[in-house]
Structure 1
Amino acid sequence: MFASPVPTFYKIWKKGDVDGFRPDPYLASVINCALWILYGQPFVHPGIILVVTINSVGFTLELSYILIYIFYAPSNKRTKVLLVLLAEALFFLAVATFSLKVYQTQSSRSLFVGIFCSFFGVCMSMSPLTVMGK
């Protein structure tokens, strides 16, 4: 699933332009993978190293796609993507900090972070539908 956009980004790289391509699915995947990596940490939900492994690979690939997009996008689109990435990073830090400061047990942290993981998993699955609005 994470490698499926490779042909698209190969075309962007060869053409040197993003045309009307939208980065929404990849931005949704970045926050989704980041939250699942947090969820798989021992202080949140111990013993699920495979969740961390697959989402680390996904996070790296999705971030690579976004970097390629940023490199070839016009400045107005580049700025929007960078602002979304900044918002995602701040949101991730807020969830991580809040879960560690407020929730004292692994089960409560696991539930709190897991709710966000589930929500953003749905968002990631629905994000390709944003192309229909275009």
Structure 2
Amino acid sequence: MNKKSLIRNIFSSIVFLAPIKTFYKIYKEKSSDGYQSIPYVVTLLSASLQLYYGVLKANATMTIIISAGGVVIELAYLVLFSIYASTEEKIYTAKLMLFDIGGFGGTMALTLLLLKGQHRVNVVGWIYATFSLVAFAVPLSIMWRVIKTRSVEFMPFTTSLLVTLSAITWFFYGLVVKDLKIAVPNAVGLLVGLAQIILYMIYKYGNKKMEETNERNNP
């Protein structure tokens, strides 16, 4: 494995672990109020499809390992989230999980029954790319919440940064290997990640300066 591949795989692995701080907070407070399960459900489906794509594609051992680890981690997040979620949120999350199971199971069944060889690989790759786009688009609702509340409490900077770095490495990897199924969704992920970082800077440090100004004007 060359250095570029190692860096890309490291970033990809860390992205799955980035929400640990959020879930430690949920565990500590014994409540998941204020958080949503959608990002983790969508990421679970994306990781599952990536795993399937890796199994079908030749020479994709690291993709299989990383995506399999991602599936396990996202499942752990969702279990912890559900333990401390309200009854309403538990039911909503369960419905989303049924969608995940149906989407992944249906994709496997149809592609295994109806497609063969490289054609199957290509179709699964584009399905994976589509859900990767959805996964990258999910933070838009969180960004809107930041703008509305003028608070970055539910949009951790570390997560945004790691997602951006991972998207950068995978985007350029997709360009190098000429795989649009990898490059396109990560180009979108890069833009969304950069937008999150900019938004974080605006409201985190903008609010801080405003508070300091108010303190000076109102001693």
Normalization by structure 2: what TM-score?
Answer: 0.58
Q: Which amino acid aligns with 1:112?
A: V
Aligned partners of 1:119 and 1:112: how far apart in 2?
11
Aligned partners of 1:70 and 1:19: how far apart in 2?
11
Q: Verify: 1:52 aligned to 2:64, yes or no.
A: yes
Q: Is the 8 A contact 1:35 1:117 kept in 2?
A: yes
Instruction: Name the counterpart of 1:98.
Output: 110
Equivalent runs, 1:116-127 vs 2, <5 Å: 116-127=127-138
Q: Is the 8 A contact 1:24 1:128 kept in 2?
A: no
Q: Verify: 1:3 aligned to 2:17, yes or no.
A: yes
Task: State percent identity of aligned pairs.
Answer: 24
Equivalent runs, 1:1-134 vs 2, <5 Å: 1-41=15-55, 44-105=56-117, 107-134=118-145
Normalization by structure 1: what TM-score?
Answer: 0.93
Shift of residue 132, structure 1, vs aligned partner: 3.6
What SS class does the counterpart of residue 70 from structure 1 fall into?
A: helix
Aligned partners of 2:94 and 2:144: how far apart in 1?
22
Return the structure number with greater relative CO, CA threshold 8 A, min gap 6.
Answer: 1
Shift of residue 24, structure 1, vs aligned partner: 1.6
Q: Which amino acid aligns with 1:111?
A: N
Report the RMSD for the aligned CA atoms in angstroms.
Answer: 1.1
Runs ≥4 residues deviating over 4 A: none
Gaps of 5+ in 2: 1-14, 146-219
Number of equivalent positions: 131
Shift of residue 133, structure 1, vs aligned partner: 4.6
Shift of residue 27, structure 1, vs aligned partner: 1.0
What SS class does the counterpart of residue 7 from structure 1 fall into?
A: helix
Whichever of the two has the greater Rg, that structure is 2
